[in-house]
Amino acid sequence: MRSSARIPGILAGLALAAGGVVLAAPAAHADMEACAQYVSQHGGQQSAQTMDVVRQACYQGQIGNQTSCTASLDEAAVSKDVAAQACRAAAP
């Protein structure tokens, strides 16, 4: 195969790969938001400071650290059941 014929194929492959990464990125953010929203809906009234802790915990869940996610939510006075469900919502 000539190199002039390979270059468009390689560029097309790179474009598809880059497009896949861009399309996947918003889904990760949505998982963290789903976690925080679950805590807001099922965890009772939360102060602004507590919601900061919740968002940090949900980020830990989003990157796959479920233990840290549930422990942080437990420290923020979120029940274990709500924490477990919220961290599952954040999981990739």
Report in angstroms the alpha-carbon separations of 59 from 3, 20, 46, 85. 45, 22, 18, 14
Q: What's this model's pTM, rounded to 2 decimal places?
A: 0.65
Q: How many CB atoms lie within 10 A of CB 86?
A: 27
Output the CA angle 49-29-40, nearest 5 degrees.
Answer: 40
The domain ranges of the chain are: 26-90
* pLDDT for the residue 57: 95
CA distance to 13, 20, 24, 28, 87, per residue, from 41 (Å): 43, 32, 26, 20, 14
Digit-coded pLDDT (tens) for 7-65: 666 656 655 565 554 444 454 456 889 999 999 999 877 788 889 999 999 999 999 99
